[in-house]
Chains A and B, each alone.
Chain A
Amino acid sequence: MHSRSGTCIVVGASSGIGLAIARRLALAGRKVAMLARREAELRAMAASINDSLGRELAFAYPHDAAQLETAEPLFARIEAERGAVDELHFVAGVMPEVALDEFDLGKDRLQVQVNMLGCIAWGNAAAQRFLRQKAGCIVGVTSVAQDRGRIGRPVYNASKAGMDTYLEALRNRLWRHGVRVTTIRPGFVDTPMTVGLKLKGAISADAAAERILRARDRQRAIVYVPGKWRLIMFVIRNIPSFVFRRLSI
């Protein structure tokens, strides 16, 4: 497979799982382009990583994943400034609080824009290049929430499901050309996005990043993080609708 020496792009790298992935990549000696919306935090995080490593491997690129048109030019800019890219991690995601009787198009549009279309914009940009170089690796972080549509966050479920299906199609298109596409479905992870939710048995963002990078190394297709969620979601997926619609999970 690819040599693992090129630049990595991490979209959504200023906090949580994205930050932990960026840290671990930099720690492994890779050049990492860190992308996120909040510029001050992003620059501080890149600085703190470089600071600890004692050399400059993390580079901050402020970027709003909802600005779909800017993905392609930014990808080209990163290539020009940091050398060939052979790894993309799409970790950006938003999950606004939604009340059970709330149907707010603004919130819904933002989730589709960032979670699904953002992933597509970056996935497309990476796919065409990786296809040309017949190597590379794309990791997309979706969610266990994509397995069923539930009462709590309809559009979060839908946007993650769209992303998940897109990644599957990408995998099927690219795998035969030596490009690996890995879908990560995290369960409960302790990150800024999940602050305030009561998550029993949540793992740390760093532990999630470790498992994600291991899945990448093993060239897995779909990975639940942590692994027990494969079983949990198998059960949940197979609850018949006439039961599921009466449940509050």
Chain B
Amino acid sequence: MSSLAWRDEDVRGFGMAVGGPGSVLRPTTAEQIAQAYADVAARGGTIALRGAGQSYGDAATSHNGHVLDLSRMNRILSFDPATGVAAVEPGVTVRDLWRHAISYGFWPRVVSGTMAVSMGGAAAMNIHGKNNFAAGSFGECIKSFDLLTPRGELVHCTRESDPELFHGAISGFGMLGCFTRLELETKRVHSGRLRIWGIVARDLEHNLQILEDLRGQADYLVSWLDLHGKGRALGRGLMHRGDLLKSGEDPEGVRFFDPILQDVPGKLFGAVPKGWLWPGMWCAVHLRQVALVNWLKFQAGAREERHSPYLQTHGAFHFLLDYVPRWHWMTKPGGLIQFQPFVPQAEGLRVLRTIIERCHAAGLVPYLGVLKRHRPDPFLMTHAVDGYSLAMDFAVSKNERRRQQLWQLCQQLAEIVLEAGGRFYYAKDAVLLQSSFARVHGEPAVTRFRALKQKWDPERLLQTDLSRRLGV
């Protein structure tokens, strides 16, 4: 097919549990993307857009389809050192951006728990960070974008020029076109470090209470949950609060604008390379000792609380998922899925408690739980609600029956969430059914999104396993 170098590869989500063979092209220019659109459309095929491939589920995979991997369009086109406004290509990662911005005393306004995600993917999924309750989602720091639509037009779009497309393409999981350039704001920081508190939360109720109490004061809030806790310890965990420092509060912090000092440490105790840790974690998962590991971690929380507050670099605080490289390999060979319900505040305690209890009853306890506070945002296919989200990581079995069991459990849990008016997040989801799509966003939003899809991509060139599963 013409001059483009498509390669057959196994394309999987970050969780490795879903995905399949696809034909992959790694374009370096918008012209190549346009040519790929035309070539594939002429053959009647479909294209899935893929950034860094960090979505847990099937958001960036396409069984036997074509995949445009944008990771080689990774230039920071400009950065204004006075205002912190950056123009980037879609394959620029959070790592690239913060490493560039921090030396100027800026930090991205919204970052994910790993720095591997791409800007294009972050916009398409409208990702959030530990400050979602205060700063909103990633889309809110985007000033404008260039979108290459399946018909080959390059549309420059701002909030004002076309609000419908702006709020649909951001959060639209790559259904309306490919971002080729994004202009986004970063924020001034006065120190290379944050002030961190570790707070032990006895149970789920205590966790939610802390979230509500600190919501107005803290800049970042995230709670790690030990989901193996039962009875009175159900939903126990360790809350982390992070506050930005004001000008002059931490003069030493000026040194930490050096990107190398921000990076998460590469070795444990200064000796063990962290790249070697995942086999140990693999043993914990496969010998079913995760409960023990989590219990130890929870106990260690009390010590951290005694030593709070302390100062920590932005990088070390935000990018917990990068502490152990290739940590997701501990779930090999089956891989993992993440189930992350977003529940309205009023129903939070009841629904989350029910979910955790159901997991215990089914004997499928997530080895990791992360609780965050959210607020609504103006994007069309948003996952954000005025309430809480609980991210739960499940290891997936190679055994087909147990794999089905897990999917059924998640679908039952999804039912509870949807009944309570909750939502889901497509960067994570792998289990939602077609019937649920309209219930997540409400019928009017889905109708508007389908109209947008019809307008910009009438031939339905852009498809992923996710969009086919949801029946977009």
Mark A residues whose CB is within 8 Å of B: 15, 19-20, 23-24, 26-27, 40-41, 43-45, 47-49, 51-55, 190, 204-207
Q: Which of A40, A41, A51, A206 contacts B247 (CB 8 A)?
A: A51
Whole-angstrom distance between the Cβ of B315 and the nearest chain A Cβ: 13
A43 engages B81 (CB within 8 Å)? yes
Q: Which of B104, B250, B255 contacts A206 (CB 8 A)?
A: B255
Instruction: Please choose the segment from B21-29, B197-205, B256-264 that sits at the chain A interface, where 4 or more of its residues have CB less than 8 A away.
Output: B256-264
B160 at the interface (CB under 8 A from A): no
A-contact 0/1 string along B236-256, CB 8 Å cutoff: 000000000001111111110
Alpha-carbon gap, A165 to B342, bound state (A): 67
**Residue in chain A with minimal CB distance to B247:** A54
Chain B interface residue number, banded:
20 to 34
B75 at the interface (CB under 8 A from A): no
Chain B contact residues, majority secondary structure: loop
**A54-B254 contact given A44-B81, A44-B82, A48-B105, CB 8 Å threshold:** no
Alpha-carbon gap, A51 to B106, bound state (A): 11
**A52-B104 contact given A204-B260, A205-B258, A206-B258, CB 8 Å threshold:** no
A53 engages B251 (CB within 8 Å)? yes
Whole-angstrom distance between the Cβ of A198 and the nearest chain B Cβ: 16
Greatest chain A CB density within 10 A among B82, B103, B259, B260 is at B103
B190 at the interface (CB under 8 A from A): yes
B188 at the interface (CB under 8 A from A): yes
A51 engages B82 (CB within 8 Å)? no
Chain A contacts for B105, CB-based, 8 A: 44-45, 47-49, 51-52
B191 at the interface (CB under 8 A from A): yes
A206 engages B81 (CB within 8 Å)? no
Chain A contacts for B192, CB-based, 8 A: 52
Alpha-carbon gap, A206 to B259, bound state (A): 9
Alpha-carbon gap, A44 to B102, bound state (A): 11
**Residue in chain B with minimal CB distance to A26:** B254
A53 engages B248 (CB within 8 Å)? yes
Chain B contacts for A55, CB-based, 8 A: 248
Chain A contacts for B253, CB-based, 8 A: 52
Chain A contacts for B261, CB-based, 8 A: 204, 206
Alpha-carbon gap, A54 to B258, bound state (A): 19
Chain B contacts for A44, CB-based, 8 A: 81-82, 104-105
25 interchain pairs (CB within 8 A)?
A: A19-B103, A23-B254, A23-B257, A24-B255, A27-B254, A40-B80, A41-B81, A41-B104, A44-B104, A45-B81, A45-B104, A47-B105, A48-B254, A48-B257, A51-B105, A51-B190, A52-B191, A52-B253, A53-B248, A54-B251, A204-B259, A204-B260, A205-B258, A206-B258, A207-B260
Chain A contacts for B248, CB-based, 8 A: 52-55
**Residue in chain A with minimal CB distance to B246:** A54
**A15-B103 contact given A52-B190, A204-B258, A204-B261, CB 8 Å threshold:** yes
Whole-angstrom distance between the Cβ of A205 and the nearest chain B Cβ: 6
**Residue in chain B with minimal CB distance to A29:** B251
Alpha-carbon gap, A44 to B188, bound state (A): 11
A27 engages B255 (CB within 8 Å)? yes
Chain A contacts for B188, CB-based, 8 A: 48, 51
Alpha-carbon gap, A194 to B192, bound state (A): 23
Alpha-carbon gap, A241 to B259, bound state (A): 40
Chain B contacts for A205, CB-based, 8 A: 258, 260
**Residue in chain A with minimal CB distance to B252:** A27
Q: Which of B82, B255, B259 contacts A40 (CB 8 A)?
A: B82
**Residue in chain A with minimal CB distance to B249:** A54
Whole-angstrom distance between the Cβ of A41 and the nearest chain B Cβ: 5
Chain B contacts for A27, CB-based, 8 A: 251-252, 254-255
A-contact 0/1 string along B3-27, CB 8 Å cutoff: 0000000000000000000000000
Whole-angstrom distance between the Cβ of B195 and the nearest chain A Cβ: 14
Whole-angstrom distance between the Cβ of B392 and the nearest chain A Cβ: 37
Greatest chain B CB density within 10 A among A23, A53, A204 is at A53
Whole-angstrom distance between the Cβ of A201 and the nearest chain B Cβ: 12
**Residue in chain A with minimal CB distance to B188:** A51
Q: Which of B80, B254, B258 contacts A49 (CB 8 A)?
A: B254
Excluding A27-B251, A44-B105, A47-B105, 7 further A-B contacts by CB distance (< 8 Å) are A47-B82, A52-B191, A52-B253, A53-B248, A53-B251, A53-B254, A206-B258
